[in-house]
Every structure is written in C-alpha cells, then in structure tokens.
Chains A and B, each alone.
Chain A
Amino acid sequence: MRPVTLTDLVHIAPDLWEIPQTFRNDMRVPARVYASERLLSDIVDERALEQLVNTATLPGVERHALAMPDIHQGYGFPIGGVVAVETEGGVISPGGVGYDINCGVRLLAGRLAVDDVTDRLADLATQMQRDVPSGVGRGGRLKLADDEMDKVLNTGLRWAIENGYASEEDAEALEERGFFRQADASAVSHKAKARGRDQLGTLGAGNHFLEIQRVAKVFDAERARAFGLFEGQVTVLIHTGSRGLGHQVCTDYMQLMDRVMEGYQIRLPDRELACAPFRSPEGGRYFAAMAAAANFAWVNRQLITHAVRGAWARVLGAGRRTELRIVYDVAHNIAKLESHNGVSCLVHRKGATRAFGPGHEALPERYRDTGQPVLIPGSMGTGSYVLAGTETAMRETFGSTCHGAGRRMSRSKAKKELDYNRLRQSLAEAGIVVRAGSARGLLEEAPAAYKDVDEVVAVMADTGIAAKVALLRPIAIIKG
C-alpha cells in the first residue's frame, strides 16, 4: 500500500489537513489531521497516517476519519484517532477502542494551596504510594468473588457508592456517571474476569501514574472558577484504565470479530481493524463487554480516589479543609453512542478525549455553560492541561480532542539513551518528589521520550476544538 506523504495532504484550514477520498479507492470518506506543520513532519515519518486512511474504509464511517495532533502508530487504528460510524449499517471495532478499555484521566482538587502542603509533600507522596498499589504484577487489596465482580461490571460506580467508596457527587463528575447501562457481565469471559480479579484499585505500570500537582497558570478565569480551580491550588491526577480485564476483553473480541467478519462480507486492509456490524449479535456483545470493562475502569479510578483521599486525611488530617472532590474524569479509549448532526453514531475514540461543548445534555449542570472539562496528561514531570469542550468540537470533530503528548521514542531507546541519575536529578532540581517502583519504569516514561504536550494542546486551542483553562505542573510523581 502506498504510504502517505506530505504532498498527499491538502491544507484546508490553519492546522488542518485532509487526505482526499481519492487517495485510495477503498476509502469511504476523506481523512483529516489536526496538526501544525512541525508536528505533521513528525507524523508522516511513521505509519500512523496509513492507519488513519485504513479507518476511513470502515463500513458506515461518517463524514471523515480524524486524527488529533498527538497521533502516533497504534494497532489497526492510530492512537489519537476518532472514527464515528452510523449505528444503523455501521460497524463496531475493538481495535477502535484499544486494549486498555476506558483508560482515562481523573482530576481531584480541594481547597488547599501548595503552601499548605509543602512541608508534608514527601509524606503525602509516600503515603499515596503505600496506599495505592502500583507496578507490575501487583494485586490490590480487594479480591472480588464472582458475584461481586459481576456487580462491578454491570453497575460500575453504583457498586462503588453502595460499598462506601463513592458519593453521588463523585458520580456527577464522571462520563456516564461512571455507569454504562449497556454493560453486561455475561459478555465478559471468565478469562477476562480472572485477569482483573485482584486488580481493582491498582494503578498498574507503563505510562500510568499518579501525580500531585499545582495549578501553575489559569488561562480562562471564568471557566477555571466553574471547574473549581485557582492558581497555586494543589491537585491530584490519576491516569489508569481497566487493567488486565480490559486487555483480555479486547483480545477475546478481536479473535471473535476476526472469525465472523467474513460472514458479514467485511474486508479490511488490516487484521487489527477486525469489526462486526454494530447491530449484529457479535457487535452487540462486544459493546456490552466493552461497557462492562469501562465500568470496571471507573471503579478502578474510584478506588484509587478513595485511597488517595484516605492518604490525605491521614497525613493532613480529615475534614473539609483537606477534602478532595473530583473535578472531572475522562475516558480516552472508548466507544460511545452519541448523536451528531442528527445522526445516531457510535464514536470510537482511541487515544482521543470527548470534548462536549456548552449546553450538551450529557454534561452535569455545573458544566453546562462552560463545556466539559477535558484533561490532557503531559508526559511524566512536564505539564498537564485542563481544557474545555467547545461548539467547534461538536461541529468539526464529533465532540473530540487530543489525549496527551504521544510517545516519540521507543521504550528500549529511552532506556538506552537516557540516563537514570540525570533524570532523577533534573526532576529533583525542578522540586519534584518521586516515588517510583522501578528505575526502568521511570526512564521509559522520561519526558524526552514524548512529544511536546504544549504543542499538541496549542493546535487544539488554535483551531478552537478545545479552550485552554489551566496548566498543571507536577510536584510529586507516584508510579510503578
């Protein structure tokens, strides 16, 4: 297949490029890339754009296949991709969600400012590391019996509320209120349940992390106020997903779709795009399993939230002064049923974040006027952004934006080329407390291994897809 080169991209608006439908005869719609010229030159170097074009061949794909500025090569679908398909006649693809179903980001904030915690920062980080299991092969404190596991999968945050890990106010701040109603635990294999059995409330390894941060800059005072954020405030960012349970659900259904696709006369250029009609027994069953894994991920982030709150109360004392509320929780590997321009769609967001604009009925009352908070984690030790969804996103990107910095150096290269002691030193010089389970894990996630999150976010802000609200800088990193 012919690779996509710079000359194949038509510059249709500032920071917006189109690969016309005529580029390949199996494309059903054009493909679009949001990127600055500089980011684009990085992007064409890898196979990500070829993958983007492949997603434009999916049956039922609506308007255009989209790539956000943090696009990079994934499996089948590029990471940083958004593909909306019509629910009637369109397909659902596990690869369009990815192996870490409902991997996402949650932001906690309270009344405290950095000055209030500076003296206890090291203790806070230590306590959080102790209370939130992280790293490879680390199980959590809960080992779910079969019926409890099914309740978690079927009811998500409702289970957490009933068991004292969450409040109704917490649920308000989650997409779907942390409870995907389409979930069906019976669609999740015993293998997937076994893999997730002891992983609820655990961070995992890889690029997943916990950070204590300070609000370094407020770009939009009005929205920041609505989000409950102020300059100098302390926040906590949680980045993790559905752990082994979600990985196994994707593996299982990838195999199933691979088997049945031919029967539906679907032919695709990459086996990792395996899919089935959304309105088919297999499509419906994957959606129910994905929704169950998404529920598991929301509960996972909730148990971590619960543990973080406990750690704060223990170190700083309990009470309203030290309370942490959830600002918002976003999923960046998920498929959602939504209506766009009057069409009922299934929107696959693979390494992309929902960015619903003001007035959308899915948003909690307190964010109706501002658009939803969008949380963009930077690479470890750099900045993270709080953005807000916009009307432009609703019109142009199926209410979606970027999800992070995007890796640019392989893990092995990072370990080879970067120096652990120098990394520790530069983090220490920046005043960042580090509680890392392994030197290797820290090096693999070094900022130099990632694209510049500032540049990625700038494209989203300049094109009006998302509005910048605040910049968060880490003051402590906790990871496996």
Chain B
Amino acid sequence: MRHGFVKVDTRVPYEVLEHPGDLKIRAFGASLAEAFANAGRAMMAFLFGETVVGAAPEARRRIEVTARDRDALLVAWLSELLWHSATEYRAYVPIRVAELSETRLGAEVGLVTAEAVDDIKAVTYHELSIRETDGAFEVTVVCDI
C-alpha cells in the first residue's frame, strides 16, 4: 500500500492535548501518511519551537523504519525522529512520508540546525490511537517528557 502526500489546508495539521505531566499529540491528514508526517511535525515544533517548522532545510535525508504493526510503526517512526534530533541537535523538517504500509515507513526529511527548547524522553503506546473518519486520518500519541 502506497500513500501519496496530500496537503490539506482546511484543517489544523495537529493539536496538543491536555495530559498530566506529558505531551499528547493528535495529528491529522487526508491520508495516513500525512497524519504520520504531521505527528512528526508536532514533535519537532514541541522540541524546537513552532518557528522551526517553516525553516528552510540545509540538507535532506531519507529515514526508514519497520515494525510489527501500525501502532508499533507510529511509535518506531517518532522514536527514530526523536533519536536523530536528540543526538544531532537538528530539527527534522519538513517531513514527507513517501511510503507507508502496515509495517514499513519511508520518509524524506529536511534537516535544520536548531536549538532545542524542550526534551522528550520517549514515545509511548499509552492512549495511542489511529483512526479513520470520513476519509480523513487522525493519530494520537503520548510522549513522556
């Protein structure tokens, strides 16, 4: 299954929900690939501040992750982004999820040198959900901060 990258301007790409002590992200997309990309974008905005999202990338890279199912793939994908940005002190924006199946994700990402404003310890399965409603996709994920 391949998902194209569809840009939807009519909806907010993501929102940060109230959660005790932690970061709960809900991201939207016209395709699941877009929702996964927006979840990554929400994470970058949290780590590096909103302004980083629009920055022009200095370089580009391809990231690939595999997992045993779709929920695990979301956790693995965001964990991979977190690891890269935490070790390289760089934001990964913009994000385009070019390839997505139940167990495999391939993304084209830009790299922006930026200073982190917040930390995330880990991405969790807690309250994780992936839903399709009226042809749109919504993913929810909680990060330990």
Q: Which A residues form the contact surface with B (CB < 8 A)? A: 46, 72-73, 75-76, 99-100, 136-137, 191, 194-195, 197, 204-206, 244, 247-248, 250-251, 254-255, 258-259, 270-272, 407-413, 438
Contacts and interface: CB of A to CB of B under 8 A. Distances in A.
B143 to A, nearest CB: 10
Given A99-B122, A413-B18, A438-B117, 8 more contacts: A75-B142, A76-B126, A136-B117, A137-B119, A194-B83, A244-B86, A255-B79, A412-B18
Contacts of A72: 20-21
Given A206-B145, A255-B72, A100 B121 contact: yes
B61 interface: no
Contacts of B55: none
A137 B116 contact: yes
A248 B123 CA distance: 10
Contacts of B83: 191, 194-195, 248
Contacts of B124: 75, 272
B64 interface: no
Contacts of A255: 67, 72, 75-76, 79
B19 interface: yes
B115 to A, nearest CB: 6
Contact of B21 (A100, A136, A410): A410
- 9 A-B pairs with the lowest CB-CB distances in the bound complex, closest first: A137-B116, A271-B125, A247-B121, A99-B122, A99-B121, A410-B20, A75-B126, A75-B124, A194-B87
B20 A137 contact: no
Contacts of A191: 83, 87
A409 B18 CA distance: 10
30 contacts: A75-B125, A75-B142, A76-B126, A99-B121, A99-B122, A136-B116, A136-B117, A137-B116, A194-B83, A194-B87, A195-B86, A195-B87, A206-B145, A247-B144, A248-B83, A251-B79, A251-B123, A254-B122, A255-B72, A255-B76, A258-B72, A259-B68, A271-B71, A407-B21, A409-B20, A410-B19, A410-B20, A410-B21, A411-B145, A412-B18
A206 B122 CA distance: 13
Nearest to A100: B121
Interface in B105-145: 115-119, 121-126, 128, 142, 144-145
Nearest to B72: A258
B12 to A, nearest CB: 17
Most buried by B among A73, A137, A206, A272: A137
A438 B115 CA distance: 14
A46 B126 CA distance: 14
Nearest to A241: B121
A318 B18 CA distance: 49
Contacts of B72: 255, 258
B63 interface: no
Contact of B144 (A75, A244, A270, A409): A75
Interface residues of B, number: 32
A76 to B, nearest CB: 7
B104 to A, nearest CB: 15
Contacts of B68: 258-259
A73 B20 contact: yes
Contacts of A258: 68, 72
A197 B126 CA distance: 28
A46 B20 contact: yes
Given A72-B20, A407-B20, A412-B18, A137 B122 contact: no
Nearest to B145: A206
A411 to B, nearest CB: 6
Interface string B57-92: 000000000011001100110010001001101000
A408 B87 CA distance: 31
A258 B71 CA distance: 11
A251 B76 CA distance: 9
* Most A CB within 10 A of own CB, among B21, B79, B125, B142: B21
Nearest to A48: B20
B16 interface: yes
A117 B86 CA distance: 38
A197 B83 CA distance: 13
Contact of A137 (B115, B126, B142): B115
A412 B16 contact: yes
Contacts of A270: 125
B125 A136 contact: no
A345 B117 CA distance: 41
A206 B23 CA distance: 12
A413 B67 CA distance: 34
A255 B80 CA distance: 12
A158 to B, nearest CB: 27
A54 to B, nearest CB: 12
Contacts of A409: 20
A411 B87 contact: no
A247 B122 contact: yes
A194 B87 CA distance: 6
B118 A272 contact: no
A195 B87 CA distance: 5
A195 B85 CA distance: 10
Contacts of A438: 117
B121 to A, nearest CB: 4
